[in-house]
């Protein structure tokens, strides 16, 4: 059976096989393929029961709004990025988890709403955080039911979606003119990925079903009538994901909690060692992109 690239429909080549090194939910082996034409990397087959690979501890669950607030502080940089392009209006976050960013957006004056696949997170957002949230794993279907927005945000979500291209089309339809899509995801051109390959924590098999090169997103969004406003791998989030990657690469080597802690320190040292390379634009572990809908 041909493994066709979902972006350019070229036959993809086997790339590597990986396991769930990050969470150890399963001992299964997952095959990843790479498109020789466009560079898209994807898992095949996508596990049918993908939801089963998200352990109960996947989302950090705040017991109160106060705890959410305290944890939201490190996501303020996301609001600053958005406010450079849009100061106010309707904002939709796709995949907010417990909603640290959505909550900050609401406090910054945006009319914030969300679409979230996890039922507990959705309940918290609706009932505790006061953010209108649709509980659905069908992002495209949910998008068809919502109004239009000035900002749509997807922080580390697109790599989880088996149908990213259709989702991006749905998003563009739901953006007002001059509205923006802000999107962050693991960068397959990252220095760390070239060094660590199948062991790269940002591969996160099998939950990350796709690693999308920046140039494909730019091409796709321009074809949908969007203009590039920002491409970076050195925003605060991107720099943080570099450290995360090294910490988890080393701590994933062992299941013992005490040893893990020590290995994380080794990871931090590696992060310092490679920081000069990883701080070069395009080499970081995660990119943040902003696209604006042309009038
Ligand atoms: Zn391709």
Quick check: 149 and 89 in contact, CB under 8 A? yes
pLDDT band at residue 55 under the 50/70/90 scheme: confident
Cα–Cα–Cα angle for 54, 131, 128, rounded to 5 degrees = 80
Q: Is the pLDDT of residue 113 over 90?
A: yes
**Residue 16 within any structural domain of the chain:** no
Query: What's the rounded Cα separation, in Å, for the pair 101 and 191?
Result: 28
Phi-psi region of 109 (alpha: psi -120 to 50; beta: other; left: phi over 0): left
Work out the pLDDT band at 71, boundaries 50, 70, 90. confident
- The domain in which residue 138 lies consists of 58-293
pLDDT at 131 (0 to 100): 96
- The secondary element (H helix, E strand) that includes residue 16 is strand 13-18
pLDDT of residue 58: 86
Using CA atoms, how far residue 230 sits from 81, 104, 216, 245, in Å, is: 9, 21, 15, 23
Query: How far, rounded to the nearest angstrom, does the alpha carbon of residue 103 sit from its chain's CA centroid?
Result: 18
Let me know if residue 11 belongs to a domain.
no
Q: What is the pTM of this model?
A: 0.95
Element (H, E) at 124: helix 119-127
Structure token digits, residue 34: 């790479």
Q: What is the pLDDT of residue 174?
A: 98
pLDDT for 206 beyond 80: yes
CA of 121: how far to CAs of 74, 76, 117, 246, 260, in Å? Answer: 19, 20, 8, 28, 28
CA dist 273 and 143 (Å) reads: 43
What are 244-256's pLDDT values in tens digits? 999 999 999 998 9
Q: How confident is the model at residue 135 (pLDDT cuts 50, 70, 90)?
A: very high
Give distance in angstroms: CA of 6 to centre of ligand 1. Answer: 7
Provide the number of structural domains found in the chain: 1
Asked, for residue 1, whether it belongs to a domain, the answer is no
CA distance 20 to 23: 6
* Ligand 1 center from residue 212 Cα (angstroms): 10
Is 37 within a domain?
A: no
Q: Is residue 20 in a domain?
A: no
Q: Does the pLDDT at position 56 exceed 90?
A: no
Q: Is the predicted pLDDT of residue 280 greater than 90, yes or no?
A: yes
Instruction: Please check the confidence at residue 61 and state whether its pLDDT lies above 80.
Output: no
Query: Residue 196: which CATH number?
Result: 3.40.50.150
pLDDT at residue 150, as a whole number: 98
Answer whether residue 24 is part of any domain.
no
- The model's confidence at residue 230, banded by pLDDT at 50, 70 and 90, is very high
C-beta separation of 183 from 288 below 8 A: yes
pLDDT greater than 90 at residue 200: yes
In-domain check, residue 162: yes
pLDDT at residue 1 above 80? no
**Ion ligand 1, residue ranges at CB < 5 A:** 5, 7-8, 10, 35, 37-38, 40
Spatial separation of the C-alpha atoms in residues 218 and 158, rounded to whole Å: 14
How far, in Å, is the centroid of ligand 1 from the Cα of 2?
13
Compute, in angstroms, the gap from residue 271 CA to the centroid of ligand 1.
Answer: 32
pLDDT value for 64: 85
Distance 154 CA to ligand 1 centre (A): 22
Predicted confidence (pLDDT) at residue 59 exceeds the cutoff of 90: no
**In-domain check, residue 31:** no
What is the structure's pLDDT at 65? 87
Under a CB-based contact definition with an 8 Å cutoff, are residues 203 and 186 in contact?
A: yes
């Amino acid at each position: 059976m041909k493994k066709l690239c979902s972006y350019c429909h070229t036959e993809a080549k086997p790339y590597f096989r990986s396991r769930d090194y990050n969470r150890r939910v399963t001992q299964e082996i997952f095959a990843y393929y790479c498109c020789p034409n466009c560079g898209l990397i994807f898992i095949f087959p996508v596990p049918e029961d993908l939801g089963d690979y998200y352990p109960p501890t996947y989302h950090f669950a705040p017991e109160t709004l106060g705890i959410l607030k305290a944890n939201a502080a490190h996501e303020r940089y996301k609001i600053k990025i958005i406010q450079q392009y849009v100061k106010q209006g309707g904002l939709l976050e796709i995949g907010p988890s417990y909603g640290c960013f959505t909550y900050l957006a609401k406090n910054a004056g945006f009319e914030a709403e969300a679409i979230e696949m996890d039922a507990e997170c959705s309940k918290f957002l609706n009932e505790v955080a006061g953010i209108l949230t649709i509980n659905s794993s069908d992002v495209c279907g949910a998008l068809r039911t919502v109004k239009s927005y000035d900002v749509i945000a997807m922080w580390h979500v697109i790599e989880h979606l088996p149908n990213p291209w259709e989702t991006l089309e749905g998003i563009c339809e739901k953006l007002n003119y001059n509205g923006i899509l802000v999107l962050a995801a693991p960068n397959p051109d990252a220095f760390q990925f070239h060094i660590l390959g199948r062991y790269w924590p940002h591969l996160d098999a099998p939950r990350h079903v796709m690693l999308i090169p920046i140039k494909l997103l730019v091409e796709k969004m321009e074809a949908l009538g969007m203009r590039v406003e920002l491409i970076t791998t050195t925003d605060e989030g991107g720099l943080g994901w570099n450290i995360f990657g090294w910490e988890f690469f080393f701590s994933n080597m062992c299941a013992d909690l005490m040893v893990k802690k020590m290995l994380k320190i080794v990871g931090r040292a590696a992060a310092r060692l490679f920081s000069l390379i990883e701080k070069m634009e395009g080499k970081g572990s995660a990119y943040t992109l902003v696209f604006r809908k042309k009038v």
